A = this chain, B = another copy of it.
Amino acid sequence: MLQLYDLAGAEADRRFSPYCWRIKMALAHKGLEVETIPWRFTEKDRLAPTGQGRVPVLTDGERWVWDSWTIAGYLEDTYFDRPSLFGGSAGRALTRFYANWTDTVLHGALIRLVVLDIFRHTHEKDRAYFRKSREERFGASLEAIAADREARLPAFREVLAPLRLTLRTQPFLGGDHPLFADYVVFGAFQWARAISDFSLLAADDPVYAWRGSMLALFDGLAAKAKGYPV
């Protein structure tokens, strides 16, 4: 019995963590059923067995596993007889850079566009925590960060250049089929989609077409989740 603590907003079914989305896609890739448990930023105590305070956290029977990279590796090693998330040991090592690029470059560019939208969708009990922690991190009010997002949009799209060039020559980062690298990058877009109606991609962008393919995977797992049209 698999359970995933999954970051939720004001509504329990609005799930907007990019790291949790990586794992939900990975679980579907493996064909594994999971019960997701809505969790809010300030519910650190519910994760006490992990000794840390962030999601995703997966429980597999008695076992607790946390950190999206660690969970992906756990799923690959434990459920090795199901479709691979990495396509072998080389693919696994090569996927690290995708995670690090996404965590730093992609998320860094994206959060400035949607941070105020995230705030508006957080649970009431999370709002003071969210505003204080993010305003400290950016050294500006949430409203100030979001104010010039139209002007920042071309720079955001420029950040996607390596992704765009790759998706011009193959349907997925993993090649003909999606792999965990696809889920890592897609998590960022699904994060944005869950809480923001801001249009990130031009319709003629290969990244747009790829995002559409990702939304449709696993009987529309991501497309059916609460969010805004893209």
Residue numbers of A with Cβ under 8 A of B are 84, 86-98, 100-101, 103-105, 161-163, 165-166, 169-170, 172-176, 179, 181
| Residue on B nearest A69 in the bound complex, by CB | B169
Question: A93 and B162: CB pair below 8 A?
Answer: no
Alpha-carbon distance between A64 and B103 when the two chains are bound, in angstroms: 41
Alpha-carbon distance between A101 and B185 when the two chains are bound, in angstroms: 14
Q: List 5 A-B contacts (CB under 8 A).
A: A87-B88, A88-B88, A90-B179, A103-B165, A104-B161
Question: B163 and A93: CB pair below 8 A?
Answer: no
**What residues of B have a CB within 8 angstroms of the CB of A165 in the complex?**
100, 103-104
Complex A-B, nearest 6 residue pairs according to Cβ-Cβ distance, in ascending order: A87-B90, A93-B175, A90-B91, A101-B162, A100-B165, A100-B162
A161's partner among B90, B105, B169, B181 (CB-CB below 8 A) is B105
Question: A96 and B179: CB pair below 8 A?
Answer: no
Question: A175 and B90: CB pair below 8 A?
Answer: yes
**What residues of B have a CB within 8 angstroms of the CB of A96 in the complex?**
166, 169-170, 173
Question: B88 and A170: CB pair below 8 A?
Answer: no
Question: B104 and A162: CB pair below 8 A?
Answer: yes
Alpha-carbon distance between A38 and B4 when the two chains are bound, in angstroms: 58
**What residues of B have a CB within 8 angstroms of the CB of A89 in the complex?**
87, 175
Q: Which of A92, A94, A97 has the most CB of B within 10 A?
A: A94
**What residues of B have a CB within 8 angstroms of the CB of A174 in the complex?**
90, 93-94
Question: A181 and B101: CB pair below 8 A?
Answer: no
Shortest Cβ distance from residue A73 to the other chain B in the assembled complex, whole angstroms: 12
| Residue on B nearest A92 in the bound complex, by CB | B175
**What residues of B have a CB within 8 angstroms of the CB of A95 in the complex?**
94
**What residues of B have a CB within 8 angstroms of the CB of A100 in the complex?**
161-163, 165-166
| Residue on B nearest A175 in the bound complex, by CB | B93
Question: A173 and B88: CB pair below 8 A?
Answer: no
